Structure 1
Amino acid sequence: MDFALYFFHNYQSRADRGLGVYYYIPKLESMEEAKWWDDVFSFTENYFSVPTGTIRATVLIETLPAVFQMDEILYAMKDHIVAMNCGRWDYIFSYIKTLKNHKDRILPDRHGVGMDKAFLNAYSQLLVKTCHARGALAMGGMSAFIPAKDPQEMARVTAKVIEDKQRESQNGHDGTWVAHPALVDLAMSTFDKHLGGKTNQLDFVSPDTEITAETLLKPCDGTRDEAGVRKNIRIALYYIEAWIQGHGCVPIYGLMEDAATAEISRANIWQWIHHGVTLDDGQVFTAELFHTWLYEELSTIQQEVGDTRYFAGRFDETADLFYELSTSKQFASFLTLPSYPLL
């Protein structure tokens, strides 16, 4: 519906300016889904008698199954695709969701899972290698940092964004994302410095090292501690409470968070409870321990936002939903589905 309405109302005015109609396609898991979208695009172009390729798409590779079908997705959408993009936060969620029942595939606390980890760096490199072999652009992922008023904190944000964008440009990506307009120039200047005046690096050839399924599927090391769990709880509560009030993107603790953040947090917690993970201090992470920390963190949130905001919000029902999602026997595919009745 969104696709059709946007095309119908904009294709002519865009054609008058020499432009096509451009889309991002998220959440694909297979080449069959990509082929379905390509069929929709082709039908639309034929129906409105516009040239093939008027519709152009960038496909987000943000699910674990899709990373194993990137060649096939490119082929299925060859008449319309221009780029593939690393959707890294959703990818981490998809990794947990896909491998949730495998005790040997448990990730550590999400705050320690960055693009410098081997399985995520391999995902980035494989996307570049696949795209450039077929003449498609390879987009990097989003840096979730937002500007800070405190000079020291802003210096830390700047360093983190530069580090992230240097890694992506050196891996061969042609462009990237940031979460806040004020950081666009910083990301652009980092890429421009590496590209040396070029608009892309389609000629970049990845190092001749094979990226194996073993690397893509191997989890990373990291902390599993109480402080990390408690922070995950607070972030998920803040985000879900905002979502059920109609807000899709929310600044939380210096990062622009979206649904993927809450998804990673509750998937992380679900998997730890499901497999009885032992924390770094020796405690076994159980549903009972999670329940205690969850409702203690509600009090922390009340202190952070104040009584007026807390009682005007919907934090209590959010906590009940979060507990149910994180401890249910069956893993819910997306937290938004059981959240819709609360909207």
Structure 2
Amino acid sequence: MGTVQGVEITGPVDDRFAEILTEEAQSFLAELHRAFDARRLELLQARKEREAELAAGGTLGFLPETRHIREGEWRVAEPAPGLVDRRVEITGPTDAKMTINALNSGAKVWLADHEDANTPLWANVIGGQLNLRDANAGTLSYTSGEKRYELTSGARPTVVVRPRGWHLPEKHILVDGAPTSGSLTDFGLYFFHNHLVTRPYFYLPKMESHLEARLWNDVFTFAEERFGRPAGTIRATVLIETFPAAFEMDEILYELREHSAGLNAGRWDYMFSVIKKFRTRGKDFLLPDRNTVTMTVPFMRAYTELLVRTCHRRGAHAIGGMAAFIPSRRDPEINRVALEKVRADKTREAGDGFDGSWVAHPDLVATCREVFDGVLGERPNQLERTREEVSVSADDLLAVGDTPGQQTEAGLRNAVSVGVQYLDAWLKGSGAVAINNMMEDAATAEISRSQVWQWLHNGVTLADTGALVTKALVEQVADEELAKLGGDLSAARALFMEVAVADEFIDFLTLPAYDRMP
């Protein structure tokens, strides 16, 4: 592997990593960094300024300056090959075993996740790119003990890669002395190595405004022109998983028009963002125990209804949220109850007009597909259902205080226990972790810690015990819950406390976690 001027690789380049970090690939990353990183940093600063306005008593609403976009008649590009029928999508990290299982699952789409289900351990960042390249070439295999995993013949899901969000750096690749963007690194390496062998499709996470979508669109245009690919070769589905983005769905689709593949209801991060953006505003934005906030509560219902209506009006796919249940190999009763809930959730989505939905485990693919088959039949999607009867106001989206439920000690204990267990796995290199038969990822861990922070800093009294949530109580609960788990969880506990009870709210738990990662 040669050296490219201005580029420094600080992570080890062993095994086959040099196949990914070629001089040409490094040069492309440097071009992306120099062309777009300054804008990325400006947009991150704009997030902070908007958050300060909310903390000072401001609110969210539909932007008056973009009213002409919301009221205009325009449509995104026609669905691209491989993205016409998306009735069931499976998500997961890009390790070799998951890659093979996902591509053999029978789903229509695989969301190859470099973000919430992945930890940015250097071996995962570059190893994941190797696995994706080998999978697209049809050569990927994996052996664990006596078991060998191989790609089966026949149709495979369309691969859609989720890069890291704009806020995350890649500290192992420096350009002109500065760390590169995790987003541009993940996008750049995948596009560079795969755009000639497969269609380059992406899922874009964590955006908070249409200006951030505009930046992505400019990145896509730059890459297409740089390598002589037709405009619109790259397609992207945007996760509407932040509270501000819910008020800019039309604008986000508009910015990505020729590159758009629709929107996704990223329910877990959305709930985290709701807590985060109004975390100091008292009872009007307090949520009850995490597990009681369903997709049918008023503010979540408004969000999903608006998403379907917005997408279909513009000719874009609307993709539902993730079923995070992990089937038990030992308890059929757990499976029976959970699968009933999964089926009900997917039935609601299909009935509301979604064109497909996510699952976190191959065993759920059949259930999701069966539900959507029942609604779609032979149709590949239901884009024709424009849902013109839906009318969602800003007040509907902001009706967080109308959520039924209570804050309880059981909810506090679950948040602390799950949060610490997840962070322990994250620090060890696993970003998707089965806990209590649920697939926990960074988004669900964010809900846990932000909810603890919100309850603590808003003087919540627990409904079942009458106890005031204090730092001492959280520490006590952590001691008691970790004693049940056993093992050394001290590093994860310290990190959880840093992001859950500190005076200042840390934007993303993955930022201090990444600082602890080699």
TM-score by length of 2: 0.62
User: 1:229 maps to which residue?
Assistant: 412
Tell me if structure 2 keeps the 8 A contact 1:22–1:55: yes
User: 1:339 maps to which residue?
Assistant: 513
Bigger mean CA offset, 180-189 vs 147-156:
147-156
User: 2:301 maps to which residue?
Assistant: 121
Partners of 2:514 and 2:307 in 1: how far apart?
Answer: 34
Mapped pair 1:96 → 2:275: yes
1:203-245: CA deviation from partner (whole Å, max 9, x where unpaired): 1132624211112111212121111111111110110000011
Partners of 1:273 and 1:155 in 2: how far apart?
Answer: 36
Amino acid at match of 1:227: A
Tell me if structure 2 keeps the 8 A contact 1:137–1:174: yes
SS in 2 for 1:176: strand
Partners of 2:222 and 2:453 in 1: how far apart?
Answer: 42
Amino acid at match of 1:210: S
Q: Unmatched 5+ residue regions in structure 1?
A: 15-19, 303-309
SS in 2 for 1:49: coil
SS in 2 for 1:13: coil
Partners of 2:432 and 2:480 in 1: how far apart?
Answer: 25
Query: Quick one: percent identity of the two aligned structures?
Result: 48
Partners of 2:494 and 2:349 in 1: how far apart?
Answer: 39
List aligned pairs for 1:209-224, cutoff 5 A. 209-219=390-400, 220-224=403-407
User: 1:244 maps to which residue?
Assistant: 427
SS in 1 for 2:230: coil
Q: Unmatched 5+ residue regions in structure 2?
A: 1-184
List aligned pairs for 1:131-142, cutoff 5 A. 131-142=311-322
SS in 1 for 2:315: coil
User: 2:387 maps to which residue?
Assistant: 206
Bigger mean CA offset, 217-226 vs 229-238:
217-226
User: 1:7 maps to which residue?
Assistant: 191
User: 2:256 maps to which residue?
Assistant: 77
One of 473, 480, 484 as aligned partner of 1:296: 480
Amino acid at match of 2:322: M
User: 2:53 maps to which residue?
Assistant: none
Higher share of residues assigned helix:
1
Amino acid at match of 2:376: L
Mapped pair 1:130 → 2:130: no
SS in 1 for 2:462: coil
Partners of 1:233 and 1:298 in 2: how far apart?
Answer: 9
Give the Å deviation of 1:46.
Answer: 1.2
Partners of 1:294 and 1:172 in 2: how far apart?
Answer: 42
One of 332, 335, 339 as aligned partner of 1:151: 332
SS in 1 for 2:493: helix
One of 445, 450, 467 as aligned partner of 1:267: 450
Partners of 1:174 and 1:209 in 2: how far apart?
Answer: 17
User: 1:108 maps to which residue?
Assistant: 288
* Structure having greater relative contact order (Cα 8 Å, sep ≥ 6): 2
Partners of 2:451 and 2:388 in 1: how far apart?
Answer: 33
Mapped pair 1:160 → 2:341: yes
Partners of 1:286 and 1:3 in 2: how far apart?
Answer: 42
Tell me if structure 2 keeps the 8 A contact 1:61–1:85: yes
Tell me if structure 2 keeps the 8 A contact 1:263–1:334: yes
Partners of 2:459 and 2:425 in 1: how far apart?
Answer: 30
1:106-131: CA deviation from partner (whole Å, max 9, x where unpaired): 11111111112111111111100000
SS in 2 for 1:57: strand
Partners of 1:267 and 1:204 in 2: how far apart?
Answer: 36
Amino acid at match of 2:193: H
Amino acid at match of 1:180: H
Partners of 2:470 and 2:388 in 1: how far apart?
Answer: 44
Amino acid at match of 2:263: M
One of 247, 257, 261 as aligned partner of 1:68: 247
1:169-219: CA deviation from partner (whole Å, max 9, x where unpaired): 111100110000111011010011012221100011326242111121112
Amino acid at match of 1:97: K
Give structure 1 regions of 4+ aligned residues with deviation exceeding 3 angstroms. none
Tell me if structure 1 keeps the 8 A contact 2:262–2:316: yes
Equivalenced residues, count: 328
Q: Residues 341, 209 of structure 1: CA spacing in aligned structure 2 closer, same or farther, 3 A cutoff?
A: closer
Partners of 1:321 and 1:90 in 2: how far apart?
Answer: 20
User: 1:282 maps to which residue?
Assistant: 466
RMSD: 1.1
Amino acid at match of 1:122: A
One of 29, 32, 36 as aligned partner of 2:208: 29
Partners of 2:302 and 2:407 in 1: how far apart?
Answer: 23
Partners of 1:128 and 1:209 in 2: how far apart?
Answer: 9
Mapped pair 1:190 → 2:371: yes
SS in 1 for 2:197: helix
1:68-126: CA deviation from partner (whole Å, max 9, x where unpaired): 00000011000100111011100000010011111021111111111121111111111
User: 2:503 maps to which residue?
Assistant: 329
Tell me if structure 1 keeps the 8 A contact 2:287–2:407: no
Tell me if structure 2 keeps the 8 A contact 1:250–1:258: yes
User: 1:57 maps to which residue?
Assistant: 236
Partners of 1:264 and 1:209 in 2: how far apart?
Answer: 29
Partners of 2:295 and 2:421 in 1: how far apart?
Answer: 24
Tell me if structure 2 keeps the 8 A contact 1:122–1:211: yes
Tell me if structure 2 keeps the 8 A contact 1:295–1:319: no
